[in-house]
Structure 1
Amino acid sequence: MNEIEVESSLQRLAPRARSGDEHAIREMVRIAYPLVREYCERRIGTSLHPHSTGDDVAHDVCLALMTSIGGCQRRFLLPFVYGVAIHKMGDAKRRARRHSRSDHDPAVTDRDADDPESAALRTESHDEVRRQLAALPERDRQILHMRFVLEMSAERMATVLGTTPGAVRVAQHRALRNIENRANLEKRSPDVR
């Protein structure tokens, strides 16, 4: 089933699912699952961590869909499903990072060749990016996250956000321009933070 057929089926089942019809909810999950699994596996791979795969994340997305569909009043449901998937993938990546840190052998480092100065510059750079992103409106942060962290195409982002690829490209350009302008202003006037 392609995305248009999935959206059509979800919309057909949504009124019954919202009223608590368990069969309709299960059918929505059955229809959405293959698309969600493919999306998650393409974004995070099949083995994010030995205990968490794209398939595991897709299951989490479907569980969230089952529990939240009753309160979802959106006209288009696929962007909602993709939004849940984005959040669940972020959760899985954070869990994997935390878990890999706790599994990490302190006697072996990934960056043995790095000197303290390089490590400090890398940390400072990451802090600057986080600070610049925090200054952006939520929608701009979401667009940049989808594009550069999740590596989504403008077409896929448009589907998720319920807009057009052109509008996504314009919003991405504006968000990047906003960051560039703020950085230039701060270089000229360091007190502007």
Structure 2
Amino acid sequence: QDNDQLEGQINTLMSVGVRQKLEAELINGDGGPGEILGFKKQATAAGITTGKPADRIGAALTDLKAEGWNPNVIVMNPRDWFAIESERAEDGDGQYVIGTPRDPAPPSLWGTPVVVTNGMPQGEALILDTSVAALLDRQEVTVEASRHDGDNFRRNMVTILAELRAGLAVFAPTATRLVTLAGTPTP
């Protein structure tokens, strides 16, 4: 209460942390009682074992389209995206395949936008038709502080709680693909 600026900074940091945790759960969540079953656990394995990462993603996009889906987003780890983005032509001129460091192309592959996030594990990419998934947003992030927790009052401490209520509904898991970007996919 003594410093409004500090309160605002704490609210911002806690809100960002909660949203990052939600993002990680939406991608990697294991499910279970009261937990989110993430996209990775629901996605169909692409099963593509050859080719460069961009080619594997292209093959998975084609597979989804051939099955009647409209894949409209690719989710990748920043390191994997950089590996694709910094790839150079093999013809000896050393030119970048996608854009240049001075004038980079927007993140997309095969005409599909790429969302780059640390929430996606390195070595894999998710391809989604988002029209068959929904973020169930029950409550925005709230941040509360209290001195009425345990012996906080006596010890002059404050407990801070940041939370939100959300879920994920994937109506057609077959509209998603999990692509292993190198080596052989794990079952």
With normalisation by structure 2, the TM-score equals: 0.22
Identify the structure with bigger relative contact order (alpha carbons < 8 Å, sequence gap 6+): 2
Instruction: Kindly indicate which of the two structures has a greater share of residues assigned to helix.
Output: 1
Instruction: Kindly indicate which of the two structures has a greater share of residues assigned to strand.
Output: 2
With normalisation by structure 1, the TM-score equals: 0.21
